[in-house]
Structure 1
Amino acid sequence: MKTNLEDLKWSDLTSPTLSPDNYLEKYENRVKKNYESYKPKIEILENIKIKLENKNQKLKIVALGADWCPDCSVNVPKMIKIVKSIDTSKVELEILYGVMVNALHKPGETIWHKKRSPPEAVNPKFDLSKIPTFYFFDENGNYLGVIVEHPKYGSTLEEDTLEILEKNL
């Protein structure tokens, strides 16, 4: 069943989350190298900051993922680096880990384990198909956009973030 992500709200997020610093500390052995080596595009970061300041808006981001997921170990630390590099109180990032695959799922059912995953993973409003997934909201908790697993081909996470802001903020 496909859902309309535009109905998703920040308030639909009910599970405990990790702050970027707590995430980096908890998963340091897996993510430190990816975090430290990522060099976001400074001009894109400046454009994100200017966009938020000009609109007098705050951006809220939640990343859904899992510690077993190689793409999460690459892209979640990159998003943390982006947010920390923007260096503004206008961007909030929370990380929700613990998504588990149900190896016995039937065709048409969610691939995520209903009992072992956070409820957001199986909540149809989130329409979670791959991880990591980054959901973007304005300061009022209204959905702005999503990045699923990777940035678009030839793009970066910060470029896709700016595109979401330019289209929807």
Structure 2
Amino acid sequence: MKVIAFAASSSSTSINKQLVTYAGSLVKGADLEVLDLNDYELPLFSQDKENEIGQPEMAKAFLAKLNSAEAIVISFAEHNGSYTAAYKNLFDWCSRIQQKVYQDKKLVLLSTSPGPGGAKNVLAAASGSAPFFGAEVKATVSIPSFYENFDVENQRISNRELNDKVMTAISALSS
């Protein structure tokens, strides 16, 4: 199974990238590709900018990556209760090219933050809207207090209960 995974963050030290890389590695026998949003940097979306430049190649390339997968795993960072600007901008460009951005793929949606909220607000927004954009959301999991529940040195979830939730979510991609 070809799996695309990415953090909805442009941070070079993204805890969501650490989480999604670990979660993606749990898909047994998968051909896993972890994307970096920084490779798809685009000008700020507006209709005026779209009229000026058309459909950016980077947005088309991102959509092609999603199309190449059978399943997608995303971990959302939360900025002020919502999506990061980098993710939202890329998503907006992509949705103008193809409304079903997720192309009827199976998705597992994750989120984490350093605090106890675990980025649950953005996870709820993402899971609520994803089906309108061609996603079959198989599972969602929020990991609160990242540094207390993730072993950064060994790059794995250290909290057994949370790890079991992520493993169960990932196993849903095979169904």
Shorter-chain TM-score category? 0.3 to 0.5
Greater fraction of residues in strand = 2
Superposition TM-score, scaled by structure 2 size:
0.31
Structure number with the bigger relative contact order (C-alpha 8 A, sep ≥ 6) is: 1
